[in-house]
A and B are shown apart, each in its own frame.
Chain A
Amino acid sequence: MIAIVDYGMGNLRSVEKGFQKVGVDAQVVSDAKSIENARAVVLPGVGAFRDCMRNLDALSLIEPIAKSIASGKPYLGICLGLQILFTESEEFGNFKGLDILPGKVVRFRIDLKVPHMGWNTVSLLKRPPIFENILDNSYFYFVHSYFVAPAEPAVIAGMTEYGINFTSMIWKENIVATQFHPEKSQETGLRILRNFGDWVKKA
């Protein structure tokens, strides 16, 4: 079973139904035990970085998630689930993240509309398992005002252009995370969820 972590941030239903649609066993959970027992963790979420960390902390889920990642189980972060992997975010002053990957979460400082909202392309630097059978420069749905600036360029798997080139996907060993929303990206997005399911089976 794959654990979709519910910590009160945004639309989990689409993630759950998306996995269901492609025949992957994934369940919404919000307790440490279920995360421990799961074969993999999915952390979705939209909204504020600060609230995300606070809610995870209030539910005592930070440690179980970090442990699951450290044990080598596959992790899929979506949007906030990507951002909180990093050291800190400049949203609301400075706020600490999980610090599993070194780097910062920064706001768009560009002459374009913010949030970056809509369909944009992801150009691959390397192909993580979730990108199996997906074309380079495919469109995905984005909605965010902040993006990650990894300190180790080696973790960057995909980049997207919006005023600047920013990191839209990272991959390091068992960790893969996207700034875009696979669960909102129609066929291509569902393909990502299916690929993640396959990867978990093999892991």
Chain B
Amino acid sequence: MLAKRIIPCLDVKDGRVVKGVSFVNLRDAGDPVQNARFYDEQGADELIFLDITASHEKRNIILDIVRKTAEDVFMPLTVGGGIRTLDDIRDLLKAGCDKVSINTSAVKDPYFVSRAAEKFGSQCIVVAIDAKRVPGIQFDTTGEDWFDEEDLQEVCLRMPPRDPFTWAISTHGGRTMKRIDAVQWGRKMEKLGAGEIMLTSMDKDGTKDGYDIELTRAISEAVSIPVIASGGAGTLEHLYDALAKGKADAVLAASIFHYREYTVNEAKEYLRAKGISVRLS
């Protein structure tokens, strides 16, 4: 039976892991490769490097990290952040990464996703959707209506979410809102060739308050490609809820693993006891 996946996520800035594994005897807590090895030994199912380096000129740094990681750690590796061109993707895949995660570039040009999928195969194209609850405005169902952006930004950022609500997508780490319905966008991305969706709730991200289960479930049921839930994990029960109630295929978590609140294996033992299919070695 296919196991639900537990995926630690590491933020990498200028070649260094920020907020990485703490309270562990890593010789160098900022070293991405050591962090990756740590999670490999813990039985993580995949690993994601999120490159938050601001400058596009420094892309060779992440390539170097991927190369070194791929020499040492033999598990699926996804890299997200700052991917703008087909060459960026090719370079990452050649360096030894298996999937790339695309967000802003997909919103700027949805057909970038289809070109990438055609060239490299859907299996390595992950579309990252950052979604935020907004008041129940009627969105364009094609997901292509992005006029009136400023107006929406006002609405989204100033008004508290209320019922009826929907989810709009955002880019640039939640700083920009788009007039695009997140569920429709997920469908569209699947149609254009995305192989997987990495779904982050911008309302829940960093809260440790639990994933947005309704959002996760809405997208997971709308598409027929795997969905990784992200944003808000604070307890093991949150992981369970995202997988069981949110119907996610995988859960991404950062701080609960980095700060050693739980190991990946502990999380899996908990999930297995609650009837979730996980891979335990």
Contacts and interface: CB of A to CB of B under 8 A. Distances in A.
A46 B124 contact: yes
Contacts, number: 99
Interface residues on B, range: 20 to 34
Interface residues of A, number: 36
Contacts of A20: 71
Contacts of B180: none
Interface string A78-92: 000000000000000
B249 interface: yes
B279 A190 contact: no
A118 interface: yes
A73 interface: no
Interface stretch (A35-43, A59-67, A137-145, A169-177): A137-145
B3 A139 contact: yes
Given A117-B123, A186-B74, 9 more contacts: A10-B93, A11-B94, A14-B70, A14-B98, A17-B74, A21-B72, A47-B120, A118-B5, A143-B98
Contacts of B95: 13
Given A13-B70, A119-B279, A189-B74, A47 B121 contact: yes
A190 B97 contact: no
Interface string A180-193: 00011111011000
Nearest to A13: B96
A115 B225 contact: yes
5 contacts: A10-B124, A115-B196, A117-B249, A118-B2, A119-B2
Given A18-B74, A113-B225, A11 B123 contact: no
A14 B98 CA distance: 9
Interface of B: 1-5, 40, 45, 67, 70-72, 74-76, 93-98, 120-124, 195-196, 224-226, 249-250, 279, 281
B93 A11 contact: yes
A48 B121 contact: yes
A185 B224 CA distance: 25
A188 B226 CA distance: 24
**Interface majority SS on B: helix, strand, loop or mixed?**
loop
A76 to B, nearest CB: 16
A120 B1 contact: yes
Given A139-B279, A186-B40, A118 B225 contact: no
A114 B97 CA distance: 21
Interface in A152-203: 161-162, 183-187, 189-190
A116 B122 CA distance: 12
B268 to A, nearest CB: 11
B2 A46 contact: no
A117 B196 contact: yes
B225 A114 contact: yes
Contact of A141 (B75, B121, B281): B75
Interface string A46-64: 1110000000000000000
